[in-house]
Chain A
Amino acid sequence: MKQQWEERVVYQRPRALASVSTGYCPGCTHGLIHKLIAEAIDDLGIQETTIAVAPVGCALFLTDYLEVDGVMAAHGRAPAMATGIKRVEPDKVVFTYQGDGDLASIGMAEIVWAAARGENITVFFVNNAIYGMTGGQMAPTSLPGQITTSSPRGRDVETMGMPVRMAELLAGLPGAAYVVRRSVYDARTIKAARQAIRTAFRVQMEGVGFALVEFLSSCPTNWRLNPAQALEWIKEDMEPYYPLGDYKVSDIAKQLQ
């Protein structure tokens, strides 16, 4: 009997995503964001020209998970390291991938100055409001009252100040060309995140300037929630303080969306 169907691939692992298991906890959205980045690298055809700069934090093994050249930076210094790479390899696509402790606390100077210079790099900023790798300490982005191992009575804004809204802060710098906040807690937000990653790469590829996508991300383990509750917590607790949206889209960047 003649075969009635042909095989059509509708989904496969992105080529830029390594065929290994990640070390991430169940329900953590790092893996999902990695995959979205890998897909963008595939679709933009930049696997052979991309250089990833991994942070100190849960994503420090990023270079194991992506099939692109990569380095791991000192804590918070990824934007400086990316600057060094980009300045001597201006035709390559250089991106950093940083958590909230890395980018918004210890690396505040480096990220602000990379943006201020309009450094032509792409930054993926994964904000899960906690220090994951070291076991759940308070992050610069932890919410008011949020209980962590280093804020056992909840973040006290009287002594620690309010959490830092990085997208808003960086969008205020003239050098920033594209600064948006996305999340990955449901199909709708994932789709928007997917698009933003592509735009952020394209902004760099067109030489427009500094591009950053902030992701509201989950940390079920350190939030002491199950994966489903964690996604809910992003939506219900994080998003009101960190509204999703576009904070800076330069005129040229608009055409690349």
Chain B
Amino acid sequence: MQQAIVISGFGGQGTLFAGMVLAYAGMDHGKHVTWIPSYGPEMRGGTANATVIVRDEEIGSPVVRYPDAAVVLNNPSMEKYEPLIKAGGVLVANISLVSAPSHRPDITCVPVPASDVATQLGDVRVANMVALGALAKATKILPVEAIVQALQDHLPERKRYLLEPNRQAVQEGAQIAERGEWASQRISE
């Protein structure tokens, strides 16, 4: 069993970090994991994405053409990855910023107003964790608790003060995905 996840957004939206948390969670959960970044030369503002693979056995390629799921935090990421998701796969879209609709009837769309939720939680920077929580719930790639645990175990010391908002964000995202209150309507509608 292998799941390849792409997490993509603007530089600064924490996509690489969200991928890392997912990879840590997978590793601590006894899975094989790879995490690979891809980003433009700009340090700030460019699009940044991470591909994370979680697999029961040894992982071959750390890159895939067609991910099993994608988390898109902005419009360019939506444009790039929505068409590439495998049939039957999952799209988690940050509808606070993603305006473009999905035209894929063959994938599960999980619209999450991640940036708005994060702002309500007091820090827009945790939008990535809202989306990650939704991803975990929607794909069942790992238990949501595993994500929370990974945050607790691996958040660097200097960022410890962000643990609580991050934790809340993951859980909030998971709940949104579970309630499916946004999923009942297509993103375009």
Direct contact of A and B (CB under 8 A): no
Point out residues on A near B: beta carbons under 8 Å.
none
